[in-house]
């Protein structure tokens, strides 16, 4: 009897296995899902931006009269130091190259140049009139500080908060075109002769900032950015080797905000499963 029951149980198990195998063979074949292709951030890009630039700049007269020619008086009077802060529209272009070095990290290098016109004129030459000098007399003289184009070469580091959105920081070397003009008339409070001089320099400094960038269409990159730049100070002697000379230094910092649109050329396509 035991042998009969064992044989019947074996036959039942074998039948179930065969039926299960038949079910597996009957299932339809399903193809694996295709890989979704996404564009990499790696590649060269070229763009344009618009925005505004704020200058943070102060003229400080450090001495009056050339010491060789006039005995070296260092008397500093009113209106010193003087702020020449101003705001201007800013527009320009930029180009760079990105490397996507990890799924969420991008590094790159970028250069830019922009044009603006921060221009501020004040009455008088700072430090050249007394406390009782009437405003009408001070206004005969004038001083102008003008900032023109600026440029930079910077490194960038970005973190992808989403496949098409990047937060980035940037920093590097910067240049700023600056012109200082002093007009000092013999009928004013300081000069004994009519004198006008413009001093021009391209100041070198550093810049740092950050922003957000996103792929808005295929190869198009839109961004918003803020940058701070510090160019130290510019030193100069106006009307040198005269009794009317003015020694001064100009501190120079800028703040810039911009929005831009760039085209990325031939970014490679990578597979994302």
- The CA–CA distances, whole Å, from 54 to 87, 97, 209, 228, 231 equal 5, 28, 15, 10, 14
Rounded CA-CA distance 184/215 in Å is 54
Residues contacting residue 217 through CB under 8 Å, at least 6 positions apart: none
Task: Give residue 272's pLDDT band: very low, low, confident or very high (50, 70, 90).
Answer: very low
By residue count, the chain amounts to 273
Average pLDDT, the chain: 86
Rounded CA-CA distance 122/129 in Å is 14
Provide the total of helices (H) and of strands (E) in the chain, helices listed first: 3, 12
- Is the pLDDT confidence value at 125 over 90? yes
Between 270 and 257, the more confident residue is 257
Model pTM score: 0.82
Token pair 């070469």 is at which residue? Answer: 153
Tens-digit pLDDT profile for residues 96-121: 999 999 999 999 999 999 999 999 99
Residues 106 and 41: beta-carbon distance below 8 Å: yes
Tens-digit pLDDT profile for residues 60-85: 999 888 665 555 555 677 899 999 99
CA 206: distance to chain centroid?
10
Where do the domains of the chain lie? 40-272
CATH 2.40.160.20 fits 40-272, yes or no: yes
Residue-level pLDDT at 17: 43
Residues 204 and 175: beta-carbon distance below 8 Å: yes
């Amino acid at each position: 009897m035991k042998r009969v029951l064992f044989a019947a149980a074996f036959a039942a198990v074998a039948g179930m296995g065969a039926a299960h195998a038949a079910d597996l063979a009957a299932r339809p074949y399903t193809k694996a899902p295709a890989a979704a292709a996404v564009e990499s951030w790696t590649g060269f890009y070229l763009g344009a931006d618009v925005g505004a630039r704020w200058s943070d700049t102060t003229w400080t007269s450090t001495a009056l009269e050339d010491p060789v020619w006039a005995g070296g008086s260092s008397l500093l009077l009113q209106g010193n130091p003087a702020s020449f802060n101003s705001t201007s529209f800013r527009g320009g272009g930029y180009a760079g190259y990105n490397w996507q070095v990890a799924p969420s990290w991008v590094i790159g290098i970028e250069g830019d140049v922009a044009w603006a016109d921060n221009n501020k004129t004040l009455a008088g030459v700072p430090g050249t009139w007394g406390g009782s000098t009437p405003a009408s007399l001070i206004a005969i003289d004038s001083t102008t500080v003008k900032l023109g184009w600026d440029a930079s070469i910077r490194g960038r580091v970005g973190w992808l908060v989403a496949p098409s959105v990047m937060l980035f920081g940037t920093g590097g070397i910067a240049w700023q075109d600056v012109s200082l003009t002093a007009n000092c008339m013999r009928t004013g409070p300081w000069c004994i002769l009519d004198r006008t001089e413009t001093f021009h320099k391209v100041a070198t400094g550093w810049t740092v900032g950050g922003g957000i960038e996103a792929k808005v269409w295929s190869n198009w990159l839109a961004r918003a950015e803020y940058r701070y730049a510090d160019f130290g100070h510019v030193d100069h002697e106006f009307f040198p080797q005269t009794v009317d000379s003015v020694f001064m230094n100009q501190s120079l910092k800028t703040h810039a905000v911009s929005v831009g649109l760039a085209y990325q050329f031939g970014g490679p396509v990578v597979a994302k499963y």
